[in-house]
Chains A and B, each alone.
Chain A
Amino acid sequence: MFNRSLKTSITAAAAICLSVATAQQSKADAASCPSPIPFGLTTALTGNLALLGTQARNGVEFAVDEINAGGGIAGKKLALTTEDTGASSTDALNAMNRILEGKPLVIFGSMISPHVFAQTEVVTKSETPFLVGATNAKVTTQGSKWLFRTHVHDGQLADLIPEYLVTSLGKTKPGIMAVADDYGLGASRGIQASLAKLKVSPAAVTSYAPSDKDMSAQLLEIKDKGADSLILFGRPADVTLVVKQMSDLGIKLTTIGNSSMVAQTTLNNLSSAEADGGYAIGGMIPQTSTDPKIIDWSKRVQDRYKVPADNFTVSYYDTVYLLKSIIEKVGCDKPAIRDALAATRDWKGMLISYQADAQGDLAHTLGIYRNKGKTPELTGPIKESGY
């Protein structure tokens, strides 16, 4: 009895000593951080990519303000500096150089891949953790050990969209329409390659310039060539136009695309009949959640920014909280933060869990959605092969 009691006491004492020591270590690490802790963000707030770029700002800023309102990290507030990239890669590089002058602890880049490609070299040289949502599959293959992506990428979509269309929806003659920029054309090529693996030839492959407003010629070509479905890859504004013009022309095709198909921005400008039946595979969106916390969060974001939160807002918001958890553990040492990011395993975000792969991609879960009228429904999450 005595021995058991002694053993229990010794074990408890050891546990207390260990936890105090760990707490002191953690406190010491967090205490090494400057006050305030500088974060940098470059994203498109003006120009024709502003609709996209503001989602990154909204996600990061909303999380930073929440964390600061809750006392910051180890009592230290976060100071977010934001620079506007506009729509040009040159301006994106200039914006990044201005951000780097402030010597931030970490930098958030936008979801616009050409901007991230232009910025990666200078950020890598500065040895600063660089967290982006840019969707071009090659963003994380540039060989930078400082770059991490917390949003799903086009390579994942390019595999999953054709697979779902052919194997689950039974369509074998799709037409492809994509926005003619780095984002859309890269995805279009990937989709064509994936279709080839499934031994399916697209009926027509078309594109439209980002500034195009009339896509009727492309739609008529797809219809005339006998397509049984449409794979649509674009941004919410132009996806809205394509869906509207399909309806105007009386073209009825099963349509599947990226998350723009179910974005609130898209659905706000479509009638129920126009939106109904459209499929999307992409980053997880908050609109379909039944969790009261997420519904409340979406409402607060909408109230503050007058723009509905989307998959990017969620991803950037999660990224800030992921960093918070890392800084609380390893402090403000940049290589330690980088190593912790690279070692991320099953970190639970708002809608998905994040897990780093060897290239620095942390998001491997996508959502399959179907519009019921103007309401997107989650058909199911789908994981990248191997996750």
Chain B
Amino acid sequence: MGQLVVNGLALGSIYALVALGLLLIFNTVQIVNFAQGQLLMLGAFIGISCAVTHELPVAMAWAITMVAMALVGIVFMVLVYFPLRGRPAFLVILTTIAMGIVLENLALIVWGPLPVSLPSPVRGPPLRFAGVVVSMHQLFIFATLAVILLLQFFFLTKTRFGILMQATAQDLHTARLVGIPVNRTIAVAFAFGAVLSGIAGLLVAPIFLAEPTMGGSLGLKGFVVSVIGGFGNLPGAVIGGLFLGLIETFGARYISSNFRDAYAFIVMIAVLVVWPRGLFGEKSSEKV
């Protein structure tokens, strides 16, 4: 039982990290980026290119990956968001899906289909207590999620830039009228969103291996987590992620491992039926 909790929380932490990246972009431009999983995959492969192919220290690989992912986020915004800005949201969403497919196939061409592992930045024997094994990497995942959650919360609520991002999300035109540098704000959101995905990729690759198609399922789970937690809600994304990780792990153990993916969507539908705005969703106000 204890082992299932640990493994479920580790899995849920990954889902939560993907959801946090989704949330950052959604909270700024009100668009769901369905290529978030493929950005995660890209982060994992950039990390592998640095740490495995070029044998750089893992810490340096992490730093390079984060910088590279920030640039990828900005390029993504220029290619996907800007040309369709002001058009119906579904067009942008469809374009993010298409971009995800492009990224997946680009990765297949550049890195090939072989699954590859990335060394963990933390080493050491696993902790064992009462028959429960917790690896150092799992502890690192928990710690990373906690730090990112706190930093993101602080950034969005306590810094000027974070408040500008929220203002941009609420009304883009008014934000521009009052002098907010809207384009720069959106660029920062895409850059940070991509960096968060990159970090998730760097965390996933040592335990789940990296391969070009790894992002599809994880991206979708990130979306489910966002819906469960309440789209746009920071603690909701984390609690939703951990909740889903536990549901999947316990469901696979005690109900059937055949329907593991189905549990995510059953839970999402159930939550939406009872709480249409998700567990922590805020009431939306109608414009008059």
Which A residues have a C-beta under 8 Å from some C-beta of B?
46-48, 50-51, 54, 180, 206-209, 211-214, 216-218, 220-221, 236-237, 240-241, 244, 248-250, 265, 268-269, 306-307
Contact = CB atoms under 8 A, between A and B. Distances in A.
A47 B211 CA distance: 10
Nearest to B252: A217
Interface string B88-124: 0000000000000000110010001111110000000
Contacts of A54: 113
Interface of B: 3-4, 7, 10-11, 104-105, 108, 112-117, 126, 128, 133, 135, 204, 207-209, 211-214, 216-218, 248-250, 252-253, 257-258, 260-261
B114 A307 contact: yes
A236 B114 CA distance: 9
B12 to A, nearest CB: 10
Given A47-B213, A240-B209, A217 B7 contact: yes
Nearest to B251: A217
B74 to A, nearest CB: 27
B105 A236 contact: no
16 contacts: A46-B108, A50-B108, A50-B113, A50-B213, A51-B115, A209-B261, A211-B216, A213-B214, A217-B250, A217-B253, A236-B115, A240-B115, A241-B208, A244-B207, A265-B114, A307-B112
B117 A269 contact: yes
Contacts of B260: 208-209, 212
A212 B248 CA distance: 11
B115 A249 contact: no
B114 A218 contact: no
A307 B218 CA distance: 26
Contacts of B115: 51, 236-237, 240, 265, 269
| Top 6 A-B pairs, shortest CB-CB distance | A217-B252, A51-B113, A217-B253, A213-B208, A211-B217, A48-B213
B114 A51 contact: yes
A198 B203 CA distance: 44
B210 to A, nearest CB: 10
Nearest to B204: A213
A46 B105 contact: yes
A244 B115 CA distance: 14
A269 B213 contact: no
Contacts of B249: 214, 216-217
B215 to A, nearest CB: 10
Contacts of A248: 126, 133, 135
B240 to A, nearest CB: 17
Given A208-B257, A240-B209, A220 B4 contact: yes
A43 B167 CA distance: 50
Contacts of B108: 46, 50
Given A220-B4, A307-B114, 17 more contacts: A46-B105, A48-B216, A51-B114, A211-B217, A212-B261, A216-B7, A217-B7, A217-B250, A241-B208, A244-B207, A248-B133, A249-B3, A249-B133, A265-B114, A268-B114, A306-B114, A307-B112
B132 to A, nearest CB: 10
Contacts of A269: 115-117, 209
Nearest to A224: B253
Contacts of A207: 257-258
A213 B133 CA distance: 18
Nearest to B245: A214
Nearest to A270: B117
A307 B113 CA distance: 8
A121 to B, nearest CB: 29
B263 to A, nearest CB: 11
Residue of A47, A269, A307 ringed by the most chain B CB atoms within 10 A: A47
A180 to B, nearest CB: 6
A330 B59 CA distance: 63
A206 B257 contact: yes
Nearest to B128: A250
A216 B113 contact: no
Nearest to A51: B113
Given A46-B105, A54-B113, A236-B115, A180 B212 contact: no
Nearest to B131: A250
Contacts of B211: 51, 237
Contact of A241 (B10, B209, B213): B209
A218 B260 CA distance: 11
Contact of A211 (B7, B11, B209, B261): B261
B114 A216 contact: no
B104 to A, nearest CB: 8
Nearest to A48: B213
Contacts of B209: 237, 240-241, 269
A114 B168 CA distance: 49
Contact of B3 (A51, A211, A216, A236): A216
B147 to A, nearest CB: 23
B213 A218 contact: no
A217 B114 contact: no
Contacts of A221: 253, 257
Contacts of B128: 250
